[in-house]
Amino acid sequence: MAEEKFQVIIIGAGVAGSAAAYRLAKAGREVVLIDRGDTPGRKNMTGGRLYTYALEELMPGEWSDAPLEREVTREIMMFMTREDSVSIDTTLSSQKQQSYTVLRARFDAWLASKAEEAGAMLIPGSTVDGLIIRDGKVAGIKTGDEELEADLVISAEGVNPIVAERAGLIKPVNVKDVAVGVKYVYKLPEQTINERFNTVSGKGTAMLCVGECNKGISGGAFLYTNKESISLGLVVDTHSWKESKLPLVDVAEELRQHPALGRYIEGGELVEYSAHLIPEGGYKSLPQLYSDGFLIAGDAAGMVVNRGFTVRGMDYAILSGIAAAETADQAIEAGTFTKSFLQNYETKLKKMVLKDLESFKDSHDYIAHTQHLFTTYPNLAVDMMNHLYKVDGNPAKKIPGIVKETIVGKLPYFSVLKDILKGGKSL
Ligand SMILES: Cc1cc2nc3c(=O)[nH]c(=O)nc-3n(C[C@H](O)[C@H](O)[C@H](O)COP(=O)(O)OP(=O)(O)OC[C@H]3O[C@@H](n4cnc5c(N)ncnc54)[C@H](O)[C@@H]3O)c2cc1C
C-alpha cells in the first residue's frame, strides 16, 4: 500500500542521481533521493578524474567548496613491457581547472548534501527493490514493505540497473558491454606525493598505461594522485580477460609491483580496495531512455566513453542528471508524464552526451579487439627506445636502421596501417 506521494523519486545518490536531485530541489520540486549506501558514495568507485565543466553546468560558480583532490596539470601516457616503459609526459598548466582527481566517498557525500541543502529529501541505507507500475506507467518505488508514489521516477542506479531491468523497462546488461575495474588507494604524505611527482600541493597527475600492466588483456591501467593518496588500478575488457584465463587479482598484484609504477606507491598504506563494472558498450547499447513516468540517467543508461587516453562517465552522469531534472521539471509544469512528453529528455541529451557517445560509438570495439595495442605496440615503443639509447661498444646505427631493426618481422606493415586507420576513425 503506497504511503506517500512525491513529485519525483530518484534511485541512487551517485553523481547522476544527486545532480538531478539538486536541480529539481533548486526548482522547488518535491524530490526524494534514495540510496542503498549508509552514506552516499561510500561504496561508489571511479578512477578517477572529474571534468569540472559539468560541475559548472550544474551549479555555476557554486562548487568552490567541493572536496576535489588535485587539479590535473600533468597527463602521462605510458607504454610498458615487463621491465621498461616509454612515456608521453604532457604538462598542461594552461588548461585552468579543467579536471580534478576525486575520491567518491567524499565527493558523492558532498554532492548529496548539496541536494539536501537545496531541499531534496535524502533517504540513505535503503535499497529500492522494484517499481510500482499502474496502467503501464511507472507510479513509484518499492523498498522492503514500503511503497512510495511519485509522478516520475528517475533511475540513476549505476552500471547494474536491476530495478529498471526487473520492471522490463530495459534489457539486461550484456556482459560484452561492460569492462571490469579494480582499484587500490594508497595513503601517503602529501609532501611525499609532491616529491615523487615533482609537483606542488594542489597539482596532480593522471597516468594511463598500456602493455604489460594488463598482461596483454585489452584495457589499461591508471594512476591518479590525490591530496594524500594515490589511486592505482586497472580496467579489463571482459571478453579478453576471459580468454586470457588469468585471475584478475594476479594481474593487479603484478601491476602494483611493476618497476615503473610500484615506486610511486612504495611505503604507502593500502586504505581502500574495490572492484566495479564500467558500461563501455556506448551508443550501440543505449537503452530506451524514457518510458511513461520514467527516465534513466548516468551509468544506468551506459553513458561512458573510454578512448584509452581519457575515461569519461562522471561528467556525462552529471549532464544526464541535469537533463533528467529539467525534463521532469517541465513535465510537472505541464502536468503530463507520458512517454511522448518525456522524449524531451533525449532531445536535451543529443546536444552533448549522446553526440559524444555517437562520435565514439566504435571506440569500445576498437579498443577491445585491437590486440596489438596491448602487446605488440607497447613492446615496439620500448624496443625502439632501447635501441636508440643503447651504447654498448658495437658500431652505432642511424635512426632509419634502428626503426627497421625494431619493426621488421614483428608485424606486417598493412596490419599497422589498418590499426592506425581504424584507430583514427574510432577514437
Ligand atoms: C575503474 C573505473 C575508472 C573510472 N574512471 C573514470 C574517470 O577517471 N573519470 C570519469 O568521469 N569516469 C570514470 N569512470 C566512470 C564513472 O565512475 C561512472 O561513469 C560514474 O560513477 C557514473 O555515475 P552514476 O551516478 O551514474 O552511477 P554510480 O556512481 O554507480 O551511482 C549509482 C548509485 O545508485 C545506488 N544504487 C544502486 N542500486 C540501488 C538501489 N536498488 N536502491 C538504492 N540505491 C541504489 C548506488 O549505491 C550508487 O550510489 C570510471 C569507472 C570505473 C569503474
Ligand 1 binding pocket mutation candidate from 173, 178, 278 (most atoms within 8 A of CB): 278
Q: List the one residue out of 342, 248, 353 whose CA is nearest residue 299.
A: 353
Residue nearest to atom 45 of ligand 1 (CA): 12
Average pLDDT of the chain is 93
Claim to verify: residue 13 and residue 116 sit in the same structural domain: yes
Pair 179, 45: CB distance under 8 Å: no
Give the distance (Å) from ligand 1 centre to CA of residue 145. 27
Residue 426 pLDDT:
83
Residue 411 pLDDT:
74
Give me the mean pLDDT over the 188-207 stretch.
97
Claim to verify: residue 234 and residue 322 sit in the same structural domain: no
Give me the mean pLDDT over the 200-229 stretch.
94
Using pLDDT thresholds of 50, 70 and 90, give the confidence band for residue 326.
Answer: very high
Question: Per mean pLDDT, which range of 5-9, 129-133, 203-207, 369-373 is the poorest?
Answer: 369-373
- Domain of residue 29, residue span: 2-67+102-171+287-350
Claim to verify: residue 330 and residue 249 sit in the same structural domain: no
Interval 40-79: pLDDT, tens: 988 898 988 999 999 999 999 999 999 999 999 999 999 9
Using pLDDT thresholds of 50, 70 and 90, give the confidence band for residue 236.
Answer: very high
Domain contains 413: yes
Claim to verify: residue 302 and residue 270 sit in the same structural domain: no
What SS3 class is residue 405?
A: helix
Claim to verify: residue 200 and residue 214 sit in the same structural domain: yes
Residue 132 has pLDDT above 60, yes or no: yes
Interval 372-393: pLDDT, tens: 888 888 888 998 898 899 899 9
Distance CA 185, CA 269 (A): 8
Distance CA 211, CA 344 (A): 43
Percentage, residues of the chain above pLDDT 70 = 99
Give the H/E segment covering residue 53. helix 53-58
Claim to verify: residue 162 and residue 291 sit in the same structural domain: yes
Claim to verify: residue 120 and residue 17 sit in the same structural domain: yes
Distance CA 112, CA 21 (A): 8
Residue 396 pLDDT:
87
Claim to verify: residue 33 and residue 162 sit in the same structural domain: yes
Residue 422 pLDDT:
83
178 HSE (CA, 13 A, CB side): 18
Domain contains 360: no
Residue 3 pLDDT:
60
Residue 372 pLDDT:
84
Domain contains 90: no
Claim to verify: residue 11 and residue 136 sit in the same structural domain: yes
Question: Per mean pLDDT, which range of 106-120, 227-241, 379-393 is the poorest?
Answer: 379-393
Q: Where are the alpha helices (DSSP H) in 343-375?
A: 344-350, 353-359, 363-369
Q: List the one residue out of 55, 56, 27, 36 whose CA is nearest residue 122.
A: 36
Domain contains 155: yes
Q: Which of 249, 279, 309 is the last residue of a domain?
A: 279
Give the distance (Å) from ligand 1 centre to CA of residue 203. 25
Q: Which of 295, 326, 350 is the last residue of a domain?
A: 350
Domain contains 133: yes
Question: Per mean pLDDT, which range of 67-76, 159-168, 176-185, 415-424 is the poorest?
Answer: 415-424
Q: Name every protein residue with a CB atom under 6 angstroms from any ligand 1 atom.
A: 11-17, 34-37, 40, 44-50, 127-128, 156-159, 163, 181, 183, 233, 235, 276, 278, 298-300, 304, 311-315, 317
Residue linked to cell 531541499 = 119
Q: Which of 253, 279, 305 is the last residue of a domain?
A: 279
Domain contains 150: yes
Distance CA 301, CA 152 (A): 17
355 HSE (CA, 13 A, CB side): 7
Domain contains 239: yes
DSSP-assigned letter for residue 95? S
Domain contains 95: no
Interval 133-165: pLDDT, tens: 999 999 999 999 999 999 999 999 999 999 999
Claim to verify: residue 129 and residue 264 sit in the same structural domain: no
Claim to verify: residue 374 and residue 418 sit in the same structural domain: yes
CATH assignment at residue 220: 3.30.9.90
Ligand 1 atom with the shortest distance to the CA of 161: 38
CATH assignment at residue 299: 3.50.50.60
Claim to verify: residue 60 and residue 122 sit in the same structural domain: yes
Residue 343 pLDDT:
97
Question: What is the reported pTM?
Answer: 0.94
> According to the 3-state scheme, what is the secondary structure of 21-44?
HHHHHHCCCCEEEECCCCCCCCCC
Give me the mean pLDDT over the 223-243 stretch.
95
Q: How far is CA 209 from CA 32, 46, 165, 380, in A?
A: 40, 16, 35, 15
The four Cα atoms 391, 392, 396, 401 give a dihedral, to 10 degrees, of: -90
Interval 347-357: pLDDT, tens: 999 988 999 99
Distance CA 11, CA 150 (A): 12
Residue linked to cell 529498471 = 164
Number of domains in the chain: 3
Using pLDDT thresholds of 50, 70 and 90, give the confidence band for residue 2.
Answer: low
